[in-house]
A and B are shown apart, each in its own frame.
Chain A
Amino acid sequence: DSGVTQTPKHLITATGQRVTLRCSPRSGDLSVYWYQQSLDQGLQFLIQYYNGEERAKGNILERFSAQQFPDLHSELNLSSLELGDSALYFCASSVGIGNTIYFGEGSWLTVV
């Protein structure tokens, strides 16, 4: 158990809908990362937050947004969902920049 908690574990939704994925980082970790993993794209970095502030942005679509709250948990919002958004979404956390990054078990999103 990495200590990073993600909910829900599985989610099936229809195209055009909006979902929110939630992540609780390890106790004491200030940095949260979101990744998308699909069969054809591999593990893609989406966005990183550090202590509530956006730190780095990767290949995150405009339909997606994220935030980190004062209690350090984070949410990834995915809207106007398309079939191609079906993937495993990982949250990860670390104490800070340059420290070991620990991953949650992931949230499986299936868009039908």
Chain B
Amino acid sequence: SQELEQSPQSLIVQEGKNLTINCTSSKTLYGLYWYKQKYGEGLIFLMMLQKGGEEKSHEKITAKLDEKKQQSSLHITASQPSHAGIYLCGADLNTGNQFYFGTGTSLTVIP
């Protein structure tokens, strides 16, 4: 079983549309990270959330952390083809200090 589940698994949107990706943990979150990956390439760090209720934005990407729900969401406003890729959430679930990754969400943006 996966400690971090992401939904949806894949997403295809028209350019300009907004979208949300969710990451839910089966354990208490001690910080939640979001990364973006293009297939076959490295992971690019987007942002880190450490406190419940925390919200961070970078360009058109906003992430929020709901500690009580053990959940984080990543929202992209007015999507562009450059947003396409695989989005991964990651967290230290404090179970042996292992850093886990979510199942990933593949985003396609159609021009």
Instruction: Verify A106–B88 contact, CB threshold 8 A.
Output: no
Question: Chain A: residues with CB nearer than 8 A to chain B?
Answer: 2, 4, 33, 35, 42-43, 45, 48, 55-58, 88, 90, 92, 97-98, 100-106, 108
Closest to A106 in B: B42
Instruction: Please determine whether B99 and A101 come into contact, CB atoms closer than 8 angstroms.
Output: yes
Which of B40, B44, B99 touches A45 (beta carbons < 8 Å)?
B99
Q: Dominant SS at the B interface?
A: strand
State whether B97 touches A56 (Cβ < 8 A).
yes
Q: How many residues of B contact A (CB 8 A)?
A: 22
Distance, CA A104 to CA B43, complexed state (A):
7
Q: A43: shortest Cβ distance to chain B, in Å?
A: 4
Cα–Cα distance between A35 and B48 once the two chains are bound (Å): 19
> Complex formed: what's the CA distance from A101 to B92 in Å?
11
Residue in A43, A48, A90 whose CB lies within 8 Å of B97: A48
A98 near B31 with CB under 8 A, answer yes
Contacting pair B97 A45 (CB below 8 A): no
Residues on A with C-beta less than 8 A from B98 are: 45, 48, 56, 58
Q: Cβ of B87 < 8 Å from any Cβ of A?
A: no
Contact residues in A for B101 (Cβ distance below 8 Å): 35, 42-43, 45
Query: How far is B92's CA from A100's CA once the two chains are assembled, in angstroms?
Result: 11
Q: List 18 A-B contacts (CB under 8 A).
A: A42-B101, A43-B88, A48-B99, A56-B96, A56-B98, A90-B42, A97-B97, A98-B30, A100-B33, A100-B45, A101-B90, A101-B99, A103-B35, A103-B45, A104-B42, A105-B42, A106-B40, A106-B42
CA of A48 to CA of B100, assembled, Å = 12
Residue of A whose beta carbon sits closest to that of B88: A43
- The closest CB in chain B to the CB of A108 belongs to B40
Q: A15 to B42: give the CA distance in the assembly, Å.
A: 26
How far in angstroms is the closest Cβ of chain B from A33?
6
B48 to chain A, nearest CB (A): 6
Taking a contact as CB atoms closer than 8 A, the residue among A42, A103, A106 that contacts B103 in the complex is: A42
Distance (whole angstroms) from the CB of A37 to the closest CB of chain B: 9
CB neighbours (8 Å) of B31 from chain A are: 98
